[in-house]
Structure 1
Amino acid sequence: MPQLAAAAPATLQSRTSLAADLVWPQTRITSAELVAPGPLTVQGLATQVPAHCLVKGRMNERTGPVDGASYAIGFEVRLPVAWNGRFLHQANGGLDGNVVTALGAVSGAAPVAPGLVQGFAVLSSDAGHGAPTPFFGLDPQARLDYGYQAVGTLTPMAKKLIQAAYGKAPDRSYIAGCSNGGRHAMVAASRYADQYDGVLAGNPGFHLPKAAATQLWKAQQYARISTPGTNQQPDLATAITPAEFKLVGNTIVARCDALDGVVDQQVNDGAACQATFDLQADVPSCTGAGTRDGTCLAPERKAVLARVFAGPRNGKGEALYTGTWFDPGVAGSNFAFWHFNAPPNRDAGAVAFLFTSPPSTQAAFKDTTGLQYALNFSMETDYPKMFATTPPYTESAWSYMTPPNPSDLGPLRNRGAKMMVYHGVADGVFSPVDTANWMDRLQARHQGDAAGFARLYLVPGMNHCSGGPATDQFDMLAPLVQWVEQGQAPDTVLAQARGAGANVVNAELPASWSAKRTRPLCAYPKVARYNGTGDVESASSFSCK
């Protein structure tokens, strides 16, 4: 594997004239302005950023032939005056649909050193549609843009814009994101390996159609033990209460805490925990009817949780999506959100319009509720529609949403590019086991040498991209740059808890933890184990083994 050279810094040359300087097909620069150094607030967090030029524009403006709606790939690029010579494509999450601020905050919760602060030129886009609703799935091209083509369309344009701004193209290019942004990054590693030198994928939904369909299946499981809510439909949040999830989480800690060599209210060895923790035997069972005080779990609730964690199967017994691990992070509020709130309010629309062919009609979807759609979804007859094609939807959802041959990253490896992936072990929507299995397949495909160019870091306790009882604040962008450009492989990544004094405090940290607890995140399959001596609040007292 070749060693790529380090990027060389440069100074912004062209500023507000960029609208005239960039000549690119079907691209319109709508504004270009110089932004003074100072605070930039994103999601309530103010970050001090350097002076930079903010460029906004639109690509491939058109009218959809199916729904008559207006479409374009909206974007913004932030170009620092003092540039480090690198391009960062900030892949955004969810359904996209918004051009979110191109700060480059791409790894860990409430990051302390986002890409723009590190000197990157940062691109953000809406992935080809102007609202974070699923109805763009009616448009065949908007589907493809969301899946992969927006990244392929934006990347060469952004590099040309950077060349116009600095007098040279970026020396090194990176793409990073979490959730659907992690999926974008993994797709880029497969489809656009020639365009990116470094790929950072967090909690990646690289099998997103299967995961979304599984969300609807989860709703069906929880509905069996839910009490009626509005319109006499099941109130999913009553299936397992926060106190009951906390009971499960505490029991997992009690059984698995010491597996990593120290009792510290944290479970580092998640794989070993699955063989140690037994939901049926270890969590107290309720004997009295109606007991919901968090001291026990009724047998029927245990049965549903066991099915949910094992993952869905069809009538033939075939697994339809990978199950997940029991982890103390099941007590996190974000975990419950993905299990109860997201299926009817997010996943139903995504499956109806994006991940099945043909998509639903707006009239049919609006004639019911998201929950009813979820409860009516058939894993036998509807699930296969993610692999179907119908005119004019000539590419299946599975094809346009997932990375082709995800375990074959030879083109990425052969040019010296590198890839870092992280995943919270208590992710409530995308299975960390699915990602670990991908890493196993990658190792097998590359004769056990995948660690030379790709590494996975499981984050104990962390929910979907952040949150939960976890050391969930970390920067993987800087280590990725060091790996790509200096050849310094990141055996560990330092992660910190967000206790009192953090830029955004994590209210779900155990009271016994230090506010600034640190842990090493280890390259899978290694886990952080206590050295036998030293401060249990310090990463230096742990080694990856």
Structure 2
Amino acid sequence: MTPLHPTRLVLLAALFSAGCSSPRAPAPDIGMPVACAELSVAMPGVRITSAEAMAAGQGQPAHCLVRGRADERQGLDGRPYAIGFEMRLPVDWNRRFLHQVNGGNDGAVVPANGGLGIWPTTPLARGFAVISSDSGHNADDPATAAAGLARGNVFGLDPQARRDYGYAADGRIYDIAQALLRRHYGRAPERNYMAGCSNGGRHALVAATRYGDRYDGILAGAPGFNLPKAAVQHAWDVQSWQRAATDIRQAFSPADIQLVASHVLARCDALDGLADGVVGDLAACQSKVDLKALQCSGAKNAACLTAPQVGALQRSFAGPRDSAGRQLYSDWPWDAGVGSGDWRFWKLESTVPPWDRLPLIAVMGAGSLSYLFTTPPTATPGTPADLLAFMTRFDFDRDAPKIYATSGPFSESAMQFMAPPDVDDPQLTTLRARGGKLIVYHGHSDPVFSVNDTRRWADKLQANGGGDTLRYYGVPGMAHCQGGPATDQFDALGALMAWVEQGRAPAGLTARINPANPEIPAGWHRERSRLLCPHPQVARYVGGPAEAAESFRCAAP
């Protein structure tokens, strides 16, 4: 069959409603398939370093594992750079491609199985061909060892490495993947997907804008699309905690933060019709929370917080501002998951001895803010004390504007290379023209990126007519990408595939308990399930077994 011309695809997509999938001709055969061991690509600057047939095992199917490097070069900083990648091509291919985008600062080629914490079965096991990359830099390069805890951030001294990390490597890796698919299988994929969480969610939303004409479906979890702004929040948090205690690790004990979580539950748990340890109606909850009710009337004791502690929490959750009162990032919602270990690990105290038990925001977050997200970069020594000091002296009038700055060879600001180009007024023009679909999910108790910021972005896209393209799901109690007191396993990929391929727009998703989650409250049944509703709907209890998703319905807020 002759494939449809791209212009006709755009015109046909405009004729179909949200309930219909975009028409797509079967991918044509291109040539004879090439055996795994003989795989190569005729692309300038791309070098295949190994290709090996892998037997089935450990839940993964038999597949061809290909590793390689692209665009090897010496950076402006004198260090070697390349885009490292691996691709796994299953023997029993379902004719779908998944571009796996990874989290953190990248810098490592994470195994290309498409695994995310929210589903128990990987896309590779479902038959997807999957590619993964390090986004153009190697965090374990011996040349960066002297940077200590900042070694994963020092690529910020090279402008092209910043650009690759932000978006350019994703475009390059997609092209390499398509070439490998055609070579190995003798045909192009019939559907192209992308999925990631955290920085991977940011990659996904950037791709939805920059490369929207390439993907049929995109899944973005906890998307840090305003990541440089969120890094400013990290400095704001450090300085907020220092108002409660000189040593931020002692600003709040675990019991202190659990007081806050219990207060939120007491005020908000039953707002969705059932008291079950979950804040189901997050929006209705916010006006109910009053931290002043927890403030000690006398000496500090186990049942109250000091005035400096209350003030520090209020300041943190209100989000960073400059001296003129301008909001520099976002505010944050009160949710019961604030008492989770993940929230504490990011915000207050880690369990990592080489970090001196400082929280992630004060160590890795400081490295990112100094090397990557402010321009020109600041070469901060990579000791816990030096990184904490950088955050302590960060000035929100003088330093926060540097996320928008350019300087010399750094011709793109952090917000330009990290955020979607249309971040303030999302349109997703090319994705929508293709008929592509986007599912976004975000934990209500995420300590890294504010779910309020994501919700507002989704509202803007819907106001711009993107309702046929987007479904956004908030996950009560969930921490960063997974975990916390939450039902945090749900098949968002299956819902995306059904939307893309069968025209079935997703409604409620059934979420279950992850048996590996150590933070499930003791009173919850281990077979508990809950209904996740597309924003702005809320899951409300309508009667029946309290532990079953079937006892809830999606309703207007």
Q: TM-score, normalized by length of structure 1?
A: 0.91
**Paired residue secondary structure (1:78):** strand
| 1:358 maps to amino acid | P
| 2:548 maps to amino acid | S
Greater shift, 211-220 or 5-14, is seen at 5-14
| 2:554 maps to amino acid | C
Partner of 1:187: 206
| 1:235 maps to amino acid | D
1:6 & 1:112 partners in 2: Cα distance? 30
- Show CA shifts across 1:47-71 (max 9, x none): x011000000000001112x21110
Q: 1:389 to 1:433 in 2, by over 3 A?
A: same
Alignment of structure 1 residues 242-281 onto 2, 5 Å: 242-281=254-293
Q: 1:264 to 1:365 in 2, by over 3 A?
A: closer
2:484 & 2:100 partners in 1: Cα distance? 24
| 1:397 maps to amino acid | A
Q: 1:367 to 1:96 in 2, by over 3 A?
A: closer
Partner of 2:432: 413
**Paired residue secondary structure (1:536):** coil
Partner of 2:223: 204
Q: CA deviation at 1:7?
A: 8.9
**Paired residue secondary structure (2:239):** helix
Partner of 1:356: 374
| 2:417 maps to amino acid | Y
**Paired residue secondary structure (1:315):** coil
**Paired residue secondary structure (2:124):** helix
Q: CA deviation at 1:412?
A: 1.0
Partner of 2:411: 394
Match of residue 443, structure 1, among 454, 457, 462: 462
Structure 1 residue 329 and structure 2 residue 348: aligned?
A: no
Structure 1 residue 536 and structure 2 residue 554: aligned?
A: no
- Show CA shifts across 1:152-186 (max 9, x none): 11111111111111111111111110000000000
Q: 1:462 to 1:95 in 2, by over 3 A?
A: same
Q: 1:243 to 1:171 in 2, by over 3 A?
A: same
Match of residue 328, structure 2, among 300, 305, 320: 320
| 2:439 maps to amino acid | M
Partner of 2:527: 516
**Paired residue secondary structure (1:369):** helix
2:64 & 2:386 partners in 1: Cα distance? 44
| 2:488 maps to amino acid | D
| 2:405 maps to amino acid | A
Q: CA deviation at 1:395?
A: 0.7
The RMSD of aligned alpha carbons is: 1.8
Partner of 1:44: none
Partner of 1:507: 518
Q: CA deviation at 1:409?
A: 1.2
Q: CA deviation at 1:265?
A: 1.4
2:461·2:467 contact (CA, 8 Å) conserved in 1? Answer: no
Provide structure 1 residue ranges, at least 5 long, that are not aligned to the other structure: 40-47, 227-233
**Paired residue secondary structure (1:72):** strand
Partner of 1:167: 186
Q: TM-score, normalized by length of structure 2?
A: 0.89
Provide structure 2 residue ranges, at least 5 long, that are not aligned to the other structure: 1-12, 141-151, 349-358
Structure 1 residue 376 and structure 2 residue 388: aligned?
A: no
Q: CA deviation at 1:5?
A: 4.6
Partner of 1:85: 95
Q: CA deviation at 1:365?
A: 6.2
Q: CA deviation at 1:451?
A: 2.6
Q: CA deviation at 1:12?
A: 10
Match of residue 236, structure 2, among 217, 227, 232: 217
Q: 1:465 to 1:305 in 2, by over 3 A?
A: same
**Paired residue secondary structure (2:49):** strand
1:219 & 1:30 partners in 2: Cα distance? 44
Aligned residues: 512
1:12·1:79 contact (CA, 8 Å) conserved in 2? Answer: no
| 2:227 maps to amino acid | L
Partner of 1:467: 483
Match of residue 310, structure 1, among 307, 310, 318: 318
Partner of 2:34: 14
Identity percentage over the alignment? 48
| 1:170 maps to amino acid | P
2:250 & 2:132 partners in 1: Cα distance? 38
Greater shift, 143-152 or 342-351, is seen at 342-351
| 1:383 maps to amino acid | A
- Show CA shifts across 1:189-247 (max 9, x none): 00001111111000000000000111011101101212xxxxxxx42121111111111
| 1:69 maps to amino acid | R
1:365 & 1:262 partners in 2: Cα distance? 48
1:389·1:395 contact (CA, 8 Å) conserved in 2? Answer: yes
Partner of 1:235: 247
2:499 & 2:165 partners in 1: Cα distance? 29
